[in-house]
């Protein structure tokens, strides 16, 4: 079925967070109900229903500086290969066009093959890594840092402001912002693993030291989405027991916007940038 022949596209509300979580859980993604509420509250989430059942979604999350992130492109197994993902991404792009927004997304290799022909341009690459902990903390937690410090570093790296997103992360139970020797990172809960990121540092050695301190103070599995070109950092993680799970390709649709002044070592996640 072509995208133009698809079923009605609807805008979802905050009451659809659980239905969205069902889709991302089916796909074995790490999002929580609170993650879905960020998209539903701060952005726009398009969906397709089959009767009362939500079967497909795509989200557009606006940031400052005419930037927006497309993510949560999900289709339940029984409704794949019907053009629903393209239909919903088109809805995101049309909304972005009307509002003068440049769109970004972090695609899997299969997704990149779809988004390229739509006009998305590849930028940087990411690598998701996982660390399985023993269940016992073996070291003290790093020093606590402020949301303002993280927000300032994030804006310098991204080139645009994400105060609403970082505030939502920081206010959650279990979240912490930590820092040491010029490095700063956010650690938050996920559905199946805790997530480290964004993470900023002056060099790879200090970034690795902060990740090691975080890992030693945690008891469960951890995920981190690293910038692939930070090769010394990536190699240090794999040497210390982290395993690469999958790559992501960051892509842009629309004109380039203000560039960041530094490259992060890890991002907030492929769904958030």
Task: Write down which residue in 100, 135, 154 finishes a domain.
Answer: 100
Provide the pLDDT for residue 259: 81
20-52 burial code (b ≥16 CB/10 A, e <16): bbebbeeeebbbbebbbbbbbeebbbbbbbeee
In a domain, 8, yes or no: yes
More confident residue, 86 or 133: 86
The fraction of the chain above a pLDDT of 90, given in percent, is: 86
In a domain, 113, yes or no: no
The total of structural domains in the chain comes to 2
Provide the pLDDT for residue 114: 85
pLDDT per residue as tens digits for the range 69-107: 999 999 999 999 899 999 999 999 999 999 999 999 999
Q: Report the alpha-carbon distance of residue 15 to residue 260 in Å, rounded.
A: 35
pLDDT grade, residue 3 (50/70/90)? Answer: very low
Q: Same domain for 229 and 133?
A: yes
Q: Is the pLDDT of residue 153 over 80?
A: yes
Provide the pLDDT for residue 226: 98
Q: Same domain for 81 and 179?
A: no
Provide the pLDDT for residue 270: 96
Structural domain boundaries enclosing 197 = 127-253
Provide the pLDDT for residue 1: 37
Q: Same domain for 132 and 248?
A: yes
Q: Is the pLDDT of residue 202 over 50?
A: yes
Q: Report the alpha-carbon distance of residue 266 to residue 255 in Å, rounded.
A: 24
Phi, psi of 102 (to 5 degrees): -85, 130
pLDDT grade, residue 258 (50/70/90)? Answer: confident
| End-to-end alpha carbon distance in the chain | 31
Tell me what the mean pLDDT of segment 147-168 comes to. 96
In a domain, 260, yes or no: no
CATH assignment at residue 135 = 3.40.630.90
């Amino acid at each position: 079925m072509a995208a133009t022949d698809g079923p009605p596209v609807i805008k979802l509300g905050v009451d659809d967070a659980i239905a969205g979580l069902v889709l991302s859980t089916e796909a074995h993604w790490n999002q929580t109900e609170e993650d879905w509420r960020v998209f539903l509250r701060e952005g726009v989430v398009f969906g397709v229903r089959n009767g009362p059942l939500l079967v497909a979604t795509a989200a557009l999350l606006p940031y400052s500086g005419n930037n927006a992130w497309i993510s949560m492109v999900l289709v339940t197994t029984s409704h794949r290969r019907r053009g629903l993902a393209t239909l919903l991404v088109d809805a995101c792009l049309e909304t972005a066009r009307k509002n003068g927004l440049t769109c970004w997304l972090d695609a899997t290799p299969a997704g990149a093959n779809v988004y390229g022909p739509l006009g998305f341009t590849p930028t940087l690459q990411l690598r998701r890594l996982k660390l399985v902990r023993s269940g016992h903390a073996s070291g003290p937690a790093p020093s606590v840092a402020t949301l303002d410090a993280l927000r300032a570093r994030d804006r310098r790296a991204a080139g645009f402001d994400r105060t609403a997103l970082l505030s939502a992360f920081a206010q959650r139970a279990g979240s912490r912002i930590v820092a040491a020797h010029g490095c700063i990172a956010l650690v938050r809960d996920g559905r199946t693993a805790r997530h480290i990121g964004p993470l900023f540092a002056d060099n790879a050695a200090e970034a690795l030291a902060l990740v090691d301190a975080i890992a030693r103070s945690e008891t469960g599995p951890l995920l981190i989405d690293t910038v692939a070109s930070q090769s010394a950092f990536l190699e240090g993680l794999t040497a210390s027991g982290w395993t690469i799970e999958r790559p992501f390709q960051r892509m842009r649709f629309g004109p380039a916007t203000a560039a960041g002044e530094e490259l992060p070592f890890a991002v907030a996640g492929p769904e958030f940038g």
